[in-house]
Amino acid sequence: MKQMNSIFVSIYWLATLALLAIGVVMVFAYTPTEVTMGPVQKIFYLHLPIAICTFFSCLTVFVASVGYLWQRKAMWDHLAHAAAQVAVIYAAIVLLTGMIWGRAAWGAWWQWTPRLTFSLVLWLLYVVYLVIRPSIESSQRRAMICAVYGVVAFLDVPLVYLSVRLMPDIHPSSIELEPAMKSTLIFWFIPVIMVTVGLIAASFKLAKRQAACNITRELPLPKSKTARPLRPTITSGNRGVV
């Protein structure tokens, strides 16, 4: 059963890598260059799917946090922790690829517009989620505090999504795409979603195994009945006698 599982995981990751490679080839060899923005527009095919999957990861943290507050089961805390790690990585990718695009398109690495500011706040919120975890020793207390925090932190996600529609922003709210560009963008969602699910699953499995190891370490080891001390204990009656 374990062997079948590891074969499935290997095939899953090989397929994901293959799809990512095909996606990169599609972006640079198949998709036409956008007329207004030029080749830098090709960042869009990575930037948008990663941004959507960031929201998905944050939603997973929110659902898992609610699950823990409702059922008080450790597996919800492990899932929230796993999804938060992926959310931090993905939000960092969104910010960095956006900054690179902004540098080329607007001439500036960063502008304090609503969308960009709320995105930075989103990244910081989940970084704090990961930072506070090791500082709380009790696993139950840690899970409770992080669950409450995970629910509150999710409030920034709709702000990020709606900000560009409700407030004036330099960040584009929609882009016109040719058919080849649309197909490339839709294709990129497949490997990015596979990577997201795979990373959350792997991180969740790791968190469960780490928690199990810590519990095992706390349990006293059973004493063998035949075990004898290496040296005879010295009592007041036999002092000096070996």
Show the tokens assigned to 237: 């009656």
14 CB neighbour count, 10 Å cutoff: 10
Of 15, 63, 69, 92, the residue at the interface with other proteins (CB under 8 A) is 92
Q: Does residue number 130 form part of the binding site for other proteins (CB under 8 A)?
A: no
Q: Does residue number 202 form part of the binding site for other proteins (CB under 8 A)?
A: yes
Q: Does residue number 80 form part of the binding site for other proteins (CB under 8 A)?
A: no
Q: What spatial distance separates the first Cα and last Cα of the chain, rounded to whole Å? A: 56
* Three-class HEC string of 189-232: HHHHHHHHHHHHHHHHHHHHHHHHHHHHHHCCCCCCCCCCCCCC
> Can you tell me the distance from the alpha carbon of 69 to that of 169, in angstroms, rounded to the nearest whole number?
37
| Residues from 3 through 42 that contact other proteins (CB under 8 A) | 20, 24, 27-28, 37-42
The answer to whether 61 and 68 are in contact (CB under 8 A) is: no
Residue span binding other proteins (CB under 8 A) among the ranges 66-74, 118-126, 173-181, 211-219: 211-219
Of 15, 22, 75, 97, the residue at the interface with other proteins (CB under 8 A) is 97
Q: Does residue number 100 form part of the binding site for other proteins (CB under 8 A)?
A: yes
Of 19, 26, 89, 197, the residue at the interface with other proteins (CB under 8 A) is 89
Show the tokens assigned to 63: 């659902």
Residues sharing a CB contact under 8 Å with residue 117, sequence separation 6 or more, in sequence order:
none
Q: How far is the CB of 97 from other proteins (least distance, A)?
A: 4
Q: Does residue number 83 form part of the binding site for other proteins (CB under 8 A)?
A: no
Of 10, 71, 140, 210, the residue at the interface with other proteins (CB under 8 A) is 210
> Can you tell me the distance from the alpha carbon of 25 to that of 232, in angstroms, rounded to the nearest whole number?
74
Q: Does residue number 85 form part of the binding site for other proteins (CB under 8 A)?
A: yes
Q: Does residue number 216 form part of the binding site for other proteins (CB under 8 A)?
A: yes
Sign of CA dihedral 205, 208, 214, 215: negative
> Can you tell me the distance from the alpha carbon of 231 to that of 238, in angstroms, rounded to the nearest whole number?
13
Helix (H, G, I), strand (E, B) or coil at 34: strand
Smaller CB separation from other proteins, 163 or 203: 203
x/- mask, other proteins, residues 136-175, rule CB under 8 A, reads ----------------------------------------
Contacts to other proteins by CB under 8 A: 20, 24, 27-28, 37-43, 46-47, 50, 85-86, 89, 92-93, 96-97, 100-101, 103-104, 195, 199, 202-203, 205-206, 209-210, 213, 216-217, 221-222
